Structure 1
Amino acid sequence: MQRDRLDALAHQAVVFERSYQGSFPTIPTRTDMFTGRYVFPLRGWSPIPREDKVLAEFLTEAGYATMLIADTYHLFRDGSYFDRGFEAWDWIRGQEIDRFKRDDIPVRFPCAPEKTKRPWMMEAYLKNVAGRRGEADHFVAQVATHAIDWLDRNHRRQPFFLWIDSFDPHEPWDPPRWCTELYGPGYAGEELIFPPYREVGFCSDAELKHIAALYCGEVTLVDKWLGLLLQHIEELGLYAETVVIFMSDHGYLHGEHGRVGKSNHNLEADGWPFYQEISRQVLMVRGPGVIGGVRNASLVQSVDLFPTILELAGIPLPPGVHGRSWAPALQGATVGAPRVAVTSWALREIAKPLRYASITDGAWSLEYPGGEGPSELYDLTRDHGQQHNVIRAHGETAREFHARYVEMLRAISTAPARLALQTPTPVIQG
């Protein structure tokens, strides 16, 4: 995959090899980031309660110039209130199914409707981007350009905190042709830019391969525009004194484990395990005093971003935070042990359909569905692709990881009704 700018950043940064999402998916994980507390034991996708003090509020009160630039429309829709605490915010409209344009605009599907996530979602997106004229109109290009413009106007306001939230490379994947030609040259079939989340079989092998090419092309586009932003930071003379944190939220299956997507969109059916392709995050940090070009084995999660930024800013940590600062890792230390990383949907009080939690230390991974569903265990040191469930041979390891999971849930005061379905010993089958 062509990602020259990201690779260059990695050579200057600490790269965290074992960084995992906590609360799944988009909005819950950002709640983890903004509050430093796991939200999955409490609730699912929802606005941040107004009584919760978030990261930007601490920084603004400490005298930082704070700004949020995003095309991730979930941050603003339906009273989500993720702009709270920032001095100002800039919402770039039209991403995915943002309620931006619903006019009588004729659109042409790039593939059969049954090969889309949902036809109405495909139509909504195509209307949103109907006015696109060139690469500069793509969403990541707009996000980067708006960030560059803000830095031009505000880089002398010291200190500053700029949160840039790019939805790309999330689907829909429709990068410029030059991007996809790098990975699928000469393809002339249907363009499944917004595929359904389901088991493979709904499309041909060639179409499945092209789905991966579209994703890779989107990553390359993100790489280009992120690179322009990083270059501009350097041109402004800010590189020597600015901490740059690059962090993703979750991954995606492009046919791995026989599936496409990040989760089962049939909410009446059992969920999917959080395999490593989904749960792992990209996390790279460069800045003053950072030992660059280093891969750090610390086990870290989304909730750790909040205490880390406060420590870097010299702001005292409030009580009740679940996360742990990984700031010492920027000078080469290993932090975060002993612990397990948990990726999970919101815990529920009903047993069916099954919803998995992933419990890992980076070497082993337990996929635990709660209640009486069968669990899976993987030895990541020998089977990084998680193709061989070894729970029958290593039942004691599965029980150990489950016990650590329950201990964690109790330590963060999970309500008894939600904890109840997480306490049964893992079911061993296969």
Structure 2
Amino acid sequence: MKRPNVLFIYTDQQRWDALGANGNPEIHTPNLDRLAAEGVNLDHYFVQNPICMPSRISFLSGRYPSSLGITHMAVPVPEDTVILPKLLRNYGYVTGNIGKLHFLPHSNRDHREIHPDYGFDHLEISDEPGCYEDAYRAWVRMKAPEELEHISLGIPPAAEDWNRIMAVEDHITHPEREPKRAAAFPGREDVTHAAFVAEQTEQFIESHQHESWMCIAGFYSPHTPWVAPQRFLDLYDPDQLSVPNYPPHLESQRSDSYFSDRELRSVKQGYYAMVSEVDEYVGKLLDRLDALGLSENTIVVFTSDHGEYLGEHLRYQKGYPGEDCISRVPCIIRWPAGIQKPGRVFSGITEAVDILPTVLECCGIPVPASLQGKSLRPLLYNECFAGKEEALMEFKGWKNIRTKDYRYVCEENGRESLYYLPNDPMQYDNLADHPAHQDALYDMRKRMLLKVLQVEQPLQRTWVY
């Protein structure tokens, strides 16, 4: 039997609830909802780090960030790190990554230089949309060179500093970056970064349709800035979109110029529009699999690297302390040839480190002992599967664990936070000093200690001593 193909559709900064299938009545995601109806929807799936680079290498290595020594940003991933394409290579797979990978810091290098392959056979890397001379700009230059002046969404501040210090002139037109509002993409909608990722992913699949393949479609959306083609913005009337329900101490800080309802609704319009643009391309990718006769034996995994505050806690983007809006992201697995009783929702706790061993087991490939996740294959086959007791998130200087009812955060300075999620799902009320929750605090401390001991991964011994 031919081993299954594997397609990862990997977005950036997509919250768990930014999906119609996860109960959001405001957002338009018909193709992702279709994917959920045809697969298994993991609705308590948690990532292991709240920002891009550590989360992505943890996901693709099946290991916790601390075991990799990568718990914060700007740490280049060592080229000998064992990730999925290296594990597939001996079994005849051809592997590719289109779009975002983010294994290297992107603001202090020339993106025209050859990128380390990390075991991939095919790489078209573009970690940011249009602000560097990379695979995306090269694609636009070939497809529609007159559109090049429209595709940068703004240069990151660190890259701007690098260009100034190093006297680099990039000759790229950069607009203002990250206004706190939705904005229309100024170019043709068929040359957005999302269009690039989808078109080149389709090309990769078509080129290797007669082989066993694995491809990552690395979408940048719905990461800030909130820019999408007008057609997708028009799906949403900002006046009809909801705003967060703030506790009194935060509500009192808001004003017409600081997290106003108008600003929050505009941001949500842009964010949702970016998700809807990706959703359209997800539909095209699924349709291409159908047209090529590949759908039945292709494992499709849709997920994201972390979430987005979207105005909650009077914040945008992501980071400490990794509340559910940051740590809990969508994860849908579709595999017609393998999944029994599709359309199920699994509400037990699962983690991003679980996906790699799951894929290997489903592909009939040995799972190395160094992998720290738990295979979800029994869940896909509708066998007895309980999920995990807790999920772990690690960052330099702090860690947190999430159980069914609690999230506990411990920092290197000794500060602790405890949130009771049934009453406080947004995690505003720290109960660490509350007498009624001391037993829960002690329990979560113990769980954290045990989890850290389990995650410890010393170097392999070669003999008894």
TM-score using structure 1 length: 0.78
CA distance in 2, matches of 1:96, 1:344: 31
Provide the residue aligned with 1:280 in structure 2.
Answer: 328
Is 1:70 equivalent to 2:99 in the alignment? yes
Q: Report matched runs for 1:65-144 at 5 Å.
A: 65-72=94-101, 77=106, 83-92=117-126, 95=129, 97-98=131-132, 120=160, 126=175, 133-144=187-198
1:235 to 273, 291, 294: 291
Provide the residue aligned with 1:329 in structure 2.
Answer: 379
Structure 1 residue identity aligned to 2:129: Q
| Residue 358 of structure 1, CA deviation | 2.5
Provide the residue aligned with 1:145 in structure 2.
Answer: 199
Structure 2 residue identity aligned to 1:231: D
Provide the residue aligned with 1:302 in structure 2.
Answer: 352
Structure 1 residue identity aligned to 2:395: W
Provide the residue aligned with 1:4 in structure 2.
Answer: 30
Q: Report matched runs for 1:31-430 at 5 Å.
A: 31-40=57-66, 42-44=69-71, 45=73, 46-72=75-101, 77=106, 83-92=117-126, 95=129, 97-98=131-132, 120=160, 126=175, 133-157=187-211, 159-184=212-237, 202=258, 204-263=260-319, 272-287=320-335, 288-290=337-339, 291-333=341-383, 335=385, 337-346=387-396, 348=397, 356-378=398-420, 380-391=421-432, 392=434, 393-413=436-456
CA deviations on 1:152-181 (whole Å, 9 max, x unpaired) are: 222112x21112211211112210112223
| Residue 151 of structure 1, CA deviation | 1.6
C-alpha contact 2:307 2:327 (8 A) present in aligned 1: yes
| Residue 232 of structure 1, CA deviation | 1.0
CA distance in 2, matches of 1:163, 1:412: 27
Alpha carbons of structure 1 residues 262 and 96: separation in structure 2 relative to 1, 3 Å: farther
C-alpha contact 1:22 1:32 (8 A) present in aligned 2: yes
CA distance in 2, matches of 1:19, 1:99: 35
Provide the residue aligned with 2:21 in structure 1.
Answer: none
Q: Give the paired residue count.
A: 378
CA distance in 2, matches of 1:330, 1:314: 15
C-alpha contact 1:56 1:86 (8 A) present in aligned 2: yes
Could you say which structure has the greater relative contact order, defined with CA pairs below 8 angstroms and 6 or more residues apart? Answer: 2
Alpha carbons of structure 1 residues 39 and 98: separation in structure 2 relative to 1, 3 Å: farther
CA distance in 1, matches of 2:41, 2:378: 13
CA distance in 2, matches of 1:333, 1:339: 18
Alpha carbons of structure 1 residues 154 and 80: separation in structure 2 relative to 1, 3 Å: closer
| Residue 76 of structure 1, CA deviation | 7.9
CA distance in 1, matches of 2:101, 2:216: 12
- Gap regions ≥5 residues in structure 2: 1-26, 138-147, 162-171, 178-184, 241-252, 459-465
Provide the residue aligned with 2:9 in structure 1.
Answer: none
Of stretches 80-89 and 287-296 in structure 1, the one that deviates more from structure 2 is: 80-89
| Residue 50 of structure 1, CA deviation | 3.3
CA deviations on 1:212-240 (whole Å, 9 max, x unpaired) are: 11101111111111111111111111111
Alpha carbons of structure 1 residues 220 and 23: separation in structure 2 relative to 1, 3 Å: same
CA deviations on 1:101-160 (whole Å, 9 max, x unpaired) are: 8xxx999x999x9xx989959x975399xx963111111111011111122222112x21
TM-score using structure 2 length: 0.72
C-alpha contact 2:61 2:353 (8 A) present in aligned 1: yes
Identity within the alignment, %:
24
Structure 1 residue identity aligned to 2:198: A
CA distance in 2, matches of 1:328, 1:3: 28
What RMSD over aligned residues (CA atoms) do the two structures have, in Å? 3.5
